[in-house]
Amino acid sequence: MQKLSGKSVYKGIVLGPVLVLKKKEQTIKRVGTADPEAEIKRLEKAVELTALQLQRLYEKAVGEVGEASAAIFEVHRMMLEDEDYRNAIYNMIRTETVNAEYAVAVTGDNFSEMFADMDDEYMKARAADVKDISNRLVCNLTGEEETNPTSTEPSVIVAEDLSPSETVQMDKEKILGFVTVCGSTNSHTAILARMMNIPALVGVPIDLDEIHTGMEAVVDGFRGEVILEPSDEIRARTEERIREEKEKTLLLQTLKGKETVTSDGRNVHLYANIGSAGDVGYVLENDAEGIGLFRSEFLYLGRDDFPTEEEQFAAYRQVVQTMAGKKVIIRTLDIGADKQADYFNLGEEENPAMGYRAIRICLKQPEIFKTQLRALLRAAAFGNLSVMYPMITSVEEVEQISSIVEEVQKELEEQQTPYKMPEQGIMIETPAAVMISDELARRVDFFSIGTNDLTQYTLAVDRQNGRLDDFYNPHHGAILKMIRMVVENAHKAGKWVGICGELGADTELTETFVNMGVDELSVVPSVILKLRKIIREM
Ligand code: PEP
Ligand code: MG
């Protein structure tokens, strides 16, 4: 038995088998071989297995996401069969007498760089595909294919770190918990874990070479502990605690269908935050009154090319239709910083959180923005959809957005494409937006305060940096004063204001927010009923 501590991201407790996820790049070594032909035989076997996996993935994807999205696996299969790619690998094994894994990894990198340097946008985007295919081949050569979490029983994922795009690709049904060596409690991976109600710990000093897939672990998000190979006594106690937690959750269920209103009649809207259309199940399950933040950028992650207008339209429409008249606030693309997709070619930046991201990309590359806006305006015709713009710092940005939205509206009119103009609001998540919130309030329909970034920018603390978790204090007087100021300015202009950052779910502050006059709290679905209980008892 081994007990390790870390920082808890979601308070829950689970017991189950471990699945160790190692970064493939870390394990590829150059090893000389005396028998290159035997390496080539190994490679051919791995190619066969890879082709079979891709075929299965294609079939699974057609059923789950449709033919257009599944086509990527067909593209991968074609790349696998590409003669130039295969010959380059054979050649390296023979001329340099090296192991197949190494030849595949180096060839993958070379081809990927070659694609990335091309002018043609389509070919550029193929860089990530070659990398993906090469990684898959290397896994099959090393026999690591079972590390794909989508092909195993529900497990506790243990990894060095997890990026949002890796997390978003996982099959949520198969994840019991997360344990990572790195990572901060404010990262988007942490937010995803909370979203999925998954007990998760970051900053756990675990040696991945000392543990193995299949060993048993307890992840205790209440105490911030992971216990490997628990004793019978700990296992029994954990099972008891899991039962108790289930009972508490069941008790909260009695609040479903009840109003979120204080005893003196003040009504607060309790909405949920989601990252994909698939999360709507959690929203309904927890009886949220709407969706206050749909992080649309997750549609752009974990893939090799931009989602088309039709793909986006289908996802947005599905969410508004499923919510059946309840409010759905979709935030436009907030890519950049920790949310990276290779095909955007954003390049390296010294300070990505303060870099080319979110609305800045949308205003500089309006063709990307317009595709999303068209999808949003079209989907708005199917339900109660609102649009919200992230990372606003100035009145000029709001004006530029308005003129792009007008252009899109005009185009849809001319093409006689059905659409509806949605309610439009902005996120208040920069100190600049707070300070000019009086001017901004006159120009938009609502505000939603993004306390995650507002804390990062106000306190000058990188939310991704785990070492700074102790300095990242959203309860800081400056943040609370800013929230009060934004609420007052919104109300003076007759506009409503909500909080969609993680602070909105902080039960220690619920009364404070309600007393400040916050009209809406948008939180991870699992917190909805807890907040309803507090507000009804106020
Ligand atoms: C925020 O910054 O508070 C927010 C809700 O947006 P995100 O966490 O996605 O940056
Ligand atoms: Mg933000």
Atom of ligand 1 at shortest range from CA of 273: 5
pLDDT top residue among 330 and 66: 330
Cβ 342 vs Cβ 128: under 8 Å: yes
pLDDT in tens, 420-476: 999 999 999 999 999 999 999 999 999 999 999 999 999 999 998 989 999 999 999
Q: pLDDT value at position 126?
A: 73
Which ligand is nearest to the Cα of residue 449, counting in written order? 1
Which ligand is nearest to the Cα of residue 454, counting in written order? 1
In the structure, which protein residues have their CB atom closer than 6 angstroms to any atom of ligand 1?
293, 295, 334, 429, 450-453, 500-501
Q: Which residue, 112, 86, 453, is CA-closest to 293?
A: 453
Q: pLDDT value at position 416?
A: 97
Backbone CA torsion sign across 71, 76, 79, 80: negative
Give the pLDDT band of residue 152 (cuts 50, 70, 90).
low
Using the mean position of ligand 1's atoms as its centre, give its distance from the Cα of residue 394 in Å: 18
Give Cα separations from 157 to 18, 199, 460 (angstroms): 6, 11, 32
For a pocket test of ligand 1, which of 189, 391, 452 has the largest count of ligand atoms closer than 8 A to its C-beta? Answer: 452
Give the pLDDT band of residue 149 (cuts 50, 70, 90).
low
Using the mean position of ligand 1's atoms as its centre, give its distance from the Cα of residue 449 in Å: 9
For the whole model, what pTM was predicted?
Answer: 0.70
Q: Whose CA is nearest to atom 3 of ligand 1?
A: 450
Using the mean position of ligand 1's atoms as its centre, give its distance from the Cα of residue 226 in Å: 28
Q: What is the mean predicted confidence (pLDDT) over 167-184?
A: 83
- Give CA–CA dist 371/293, Å, rounded: 20
Using the mean position of ligand 1's atoms as its centre, give its distance from the Cα of residue 199 in Å: 20
Give the pLDDT band of residue 146 (cuts 50, 70, 90).
very low
Q: What is the mean predicted confidence (pLDDT) over 72-98?
A: 87
Region of poorest pLDDT, from 345-349, 390-394, 443-447, 514-518: 345-349
For a pocket test of ligand 1, which of 184, 294, 427 has the largest count of ligand atoms closer than 8 A to its C-beta? Answer: 427
Give the pLDDT band of residue 281 (cuts 50, 70, 90).
confident
Q: pLDDT value at position 65?
A: 53
Using the mean position of ligand 2's atoms as its centre, give its distance from the Cα of residue 429 in Å: 6
Which ligand is nearest to the Cα of residue 186, counting in written order? 1
Residue 148, pLDDT > 60, answer: no
> Which residues have a Cβ under 8 Å from the Cβ of 367 and sit 6 or more positions away?
none
- Give CA–CA dist 405/402, Å, rounded: 5
Q: At what angle do helices 67-80 and 121-142 cross, to 10 degrees?
A: 70
Atom of ligand 1 at shortest range from CA of 390: 6
How do beta strands 225-228 and 216-220 pair?
A: antiparallel
Q: pLDDT value at position 216?
A: 95
pLDDT in tens, 211-251: 988 899 999 999 999 999 999 999 999 999 999 988 888 88
Q: pLDDT value at position 25?
A: 56
Q: What is the mean predicted confidence (pLDDT) over 473-485?
A: 97
Q: Whose CA is nearest to atom 8 of ligand 1?
A: 452
Match 């309790």 to its residue by tokens. 270
Q: Which two tokens stand for residue 522?
A: 């948008």
Q: Whose CA is nearest to atom 4 of ligand 1?
A: 450
Atom of ligand 1 at shortest range from CA of 448: 5
- Give CA–CA dist 302/480, Å, rounded: 35
Q: Indicate which residue of 76, 139, 188, 362 is catalytic.
A: 188
Q: Which residue, 513, 406, 486, 485, is CA-closest to 534?
A: 513
Residue 26, pLDDT > 60, answer: no
Helix, strand, coil shares of the chain, percent, nearest 5, are 55, 15, 30
Q: Whose CA is nearest to atom 9 of ligand 1?
A: 295
Q: pLDDT value at position 197?
A: 80
Q: What is the mean predicted confidence (pLDDT) over 9-18?
A: 92
Give the pLDDT band of residue 147 (cuts 50, 70, 90).
very low
Q: Which two tokens stand for residue 247?
A: 């009972």
Q: Whose CA is nearest to atom 6 of ligand 1?
A: 450
Q: What is the mean predicted confidence (pLDDT) over 102-131?
A: 80
DSSP 443: T
Does the annotation count 500 as an active-site position? yes
Using the mean position of ligand 2's atoms as its centre, give its distance from the Cα of residue 455 in Å: 10
What 3-state class would DSSP assign to 274? strand
Q: pLDDT value at position 112?
A: 82
Q: Indicate which residue of 76, 269, 362, 500 is catalytic.
A: 500
Q: pLDDT value at position 11?
A: 86
Atom of ligand 1 at shortest range from CA of 449: 3
Using the mean position of ligand 2's atoms as its centre, give its distance from the Cα of residue 147 in Å: 32
Residue 49, pLDDT > 60, answer: yes
pLDDT top residue among 514 and 147: 514
Q: pLDDT value at position 69?
A: 57
- Element (H or E) spanning 191, and its range? helix 188-195
Q: Whose CA is nearest to atom 1 of ligand 1?
A: 450
What 3-state class would DSSP assign to 490? helix
Using the mean position of ligand 1's atoms as its centre, give its distance from the Cα of residue 453 in Å: 6
DSSP letters for 456-496: HHHHT--TT-GGGTTT--TTSHHHHHHHHHHHHHHHHTT-E
> Which residues have a Cβ under 8 Å from the Cβ of 197 and sit 6 or more positions away?
10, 12, 282, 524, 525, 526
- Give CA–CA dist 21/212, Å, rounded: 10
Using the mean position of ligand 2's atoms as its centre, give its distance from the Cα of residue 450 in Å: 5
Atom of ligand 1 at shortest range from CA of 500: 5
Which ligand is nearest to the Cα of residue 331, counting in written order? 1
pLDDT top residue among 129 and 161: 161
Q: Which two tokens stand for residue 91?
A: 């050649």
Atom of ligand 1 at shortest range from CA of 337: 10
Give the pLDDT band of residue 124 (cuts 50, 70, 90).
low
Please name each of the domains of the chain with its CATH number: 2-23+148-251 (3.50.30.10), 36-142 (1.10.274.10), 254-536 (3.20.20.60)
- Give CA–CA dist 387/424, Å, rounded: 5
Q: pLDDT value at position 77?
A: 85
Q: Which two tokens stand for residue 41?
A: 């035989």
For a pocket test of ligand 1, which of 334, 455, 456, 483 has the largest count of ligand atoms closer than 8 A to its C-beta? Answer: 334
Does the annotation count 139 as an active-site position? no
For a pocket test of ligand 1, which of 279, 429, 462 has the largest count of ligand atoms closer than 8 A to its C-beta? Answer: 429
Residue 151, pLDDT > 50, answer: no
pLDDT in tens, 287-304: 999 999 999 999 998 888
Q: Which two tokens stand for residue 416?
A: 């006689």
Give the pLDDT band of residue 66 (cuts 50, 70, 90).
low
Atom of ligand 1 at shortest range from CA of 293: 5
Q: pLDDT value at position 134?
A: 87
Mean pLDDT computed over every residue of the chain? 90
Q: pLDDT value at position 228?
A: 95
Which ligand is nearest to the Cα of residue 392, counting in written order? 2
The partner residues of 388 in beta bridges, in order of sequence, read 331, 425
Q: pLDDT value at position 122?
A: 67
